Amino acid sequence: MPTVRFTTPQGDVKEIGASDGENLMKIAVQNGLPGIEGECGGEMNCATCHVYITEPWKSRMRSASVDENDLLEFDDKVCADSRLGCQVKVTAALDGMDVAIP
């Protein structure tokens, strides 16, 4: 089972086990992590699951789609490491991944 290390906006770190193929938004919401709302239920309509993912993890996943990047532009905390958690699926290659919640 892959694990993901989330850092909350308050700086707390929580390591969570995830099922292969599960998305970051679902993991965060199910575990009550602050800063991830997932208002649209993972339909890529709201950007309330905005996270930061840095290297080496960023290069181990597919790039954000044009639609994902367009939606992220509406968030005032967007940066080069921004992703929508609903669009990032956990895989064995991402085991131990660090994810920061803005």
Assign residue 14 the CATH number of its domain. Answer: 3.10.20.30
Domain limits for position 40: 3-100
Average pLDDT, the chain: 96
What's the number of domains the chain is made of? 1
User: Is the overall model pTM greater than 0.75, yes or no?
Assistant: yes
- 23 DSSP 8-state letter: B
Would you state the structure tokens that stand for residue 38, as one six-digit string?
A: 């997932």
Cis peptide before 2 (omega within 30 of 0): no
**Which CA distances in Å does 83 have to 1, 17, 30?**
22, 20, 19
Segment 47-74 shows an average pLDDT of 96
Q: For residue 54, what pLDDT band results from cuts at 50, 70 and 90?
A: very high
Spatial neighbors of 47 by CB under 8 A, at least 6 apart, are: 71, 72, 74, 75, 84
- pLDDT above 70 covers what percent of the chain? 100
